[in-house]
Amino acid sequence: MPEVIEKIEQLMEYETAGDPMTGLKWTRKTTGKIATELKSFGIYVGRTTVGDLLKKMDFSLKVNHKNKALGANKTPKARAQRDQQFEYIKTVRKQFADKSNPMTSVDSKKREMVGDFKNNGASWRRKAFQVSDHDFRQYAEGVAICRGLYDLQANKGFMCVGIHHDTPAFAVDCIVKWWKQVGSKTYPGRKELLVLADAGGSNGYRVRAWKYELQRKLCDLYGLYVTVCHYPPGASKWNPIEHRLFSYISNNWRGIPLRSYETILKYMRRTKTNPKDGPELKVRASLVRKEYKNGQKVSDEKMTQLRVKRHDTLPLWNYTILPRKM
């Protein structure tokens, strides 16, 4: 039933979350609801058949896990805003897709210690890797700050591996590097860019330096109108980069000791998907040796000089940064 799977993929485009480590996926839609929506395409299958097809697409039934942060969606208002934001992101993505404007998803992958340490999982080998019996930071060659960008239109990943700290400046520099090397060539003449990001971390919606760096390094320098939509707190696994890029990287180096930065880059670059599942995923990766320091401060005066246009819908989470006339 390839045609049925293709239609299900269309229905799940904006309704999928996934684990960045295991690659498992889940959705807010029920099998019954999917079966009902398929009827609009003239496809009549039962929810049991839908369930079987979802398993083939790496979806699976999940039990409850006690890992939800308290307070993130505690009140009815917070839950309503969460649902509203999911729907708004879906709308914005469709608007960008209809105009063929670039859409990206950004985040930081789990940081890795570089050295002779155990990496969870198993790999096919004649002999097992021999690694250190303790994972002590002082014995590591360094730490890998794996910052990623996923191009939703082209199904391509772009990884920047830093060696110091995950800061707003580093987060924006990775987007700038992607735009210079890939984005501007893939989308020539385009002046609008969508960035999907988590609510917290170095690209959080409350982080001043994140907006400040986007303004001066991306919008002003390249004349880009950058729209940023943040996923609600506690909803990071709905960010597409988690299950469309990070999970494949984790699976590719599962059971392989990350003994050097070159090893990390090599396995990132070799990460691919099965062409039978659609456009093949391709990944670029580079080492960033620039030193980034924590604690960047942006004054009130500098913030007032930014051209940030808040959206009418949940303005804290949705905004567009416009280029300033230089």
Structure pTM?
Answer: 0.76
Q: 157: exposed, middle or buried (C-beta count within 10 Å: 0-12, 13-18, 19+)?
A: buried
User: 149: buried, middle or exposed (CB in 10 Å: 19+, 13-18, 0-12)?
Assistant: buried
3-class DSSP state of 12: helix
Q: Please, which residues bridge with residue 282 across strands?
A: 156
Mean pLDDT of 98-116: 90
Please state, in angstroms and rounded to a whole number, the distance separating the CA atoms of residues 318 and 14: 17
The strand pair at 142-151 and 112-114 is best described as antiparallel
- What pLDDT does residue 51 have? 75
Q: What is the DSSP string of 98-152?
A: HTT--EEEEEEPPPEEESS---SS----SSPPP--SS--GGGSSEEEEEEEEEET
Q: Which two tokens stand for residue 105?
A: 């998803």
pLDDT tens-digit map of 119-129:
666 554 545 55
CA distance linking residue 254 with residue 257, whole number of Å: 8
How far apart are the C-alpha atoms of 326 and 256, rounded to whole Å?
A: 49
Which of 41-45, 97-101, 246-250 is predicted with the least confidence, judged by mean pLDDT? 41-45
The predicted structure's pLDDT at residue 75: 83
Amino acid identity, residue 103? M
Q: What is the pLDDT of residues 17-26, one digit of tens each?
A: 666 655 566 5
User: What mean pLDDT, rounded, does the chain reach?
Assistant: 85
How confident is the model over 271-290, as pLDDT tens digits? 998 777 678 899 999 999 99
Evaluate whether 145 touches 113 at the Cβ level (below 8 Å): no
The CA-atom distances, in angstroms, between 243 and each of 46, 63, 81, 87 are 27, 19, 23, 19
3 state DSSP class of 50: helix
Would you list the DSSP string of 54-80?
Answer: HHHTTB------S-PPTTTT-SHHHHH
* Encoded tokens for 109: 């992958």
Q: What is the pLDDT of residues 206-239, one digit of tens each?
A: 999 999 999 999 999 999 999 999 999 999 889 9
Separation in Å, CA 76 to CA 71, 174, 179, 236, 238: 11, 37, 40, 20, 20
Please report how many Cα atoms fall inside a 13 Å half-sphere around the Cα of residue 255, on the Cβ side: 9
Q: pLDDT value at position 152? A: 96
Quickly count: other Cβ atoms within 10 Å of residue 124's Cβ.
Answer: 5
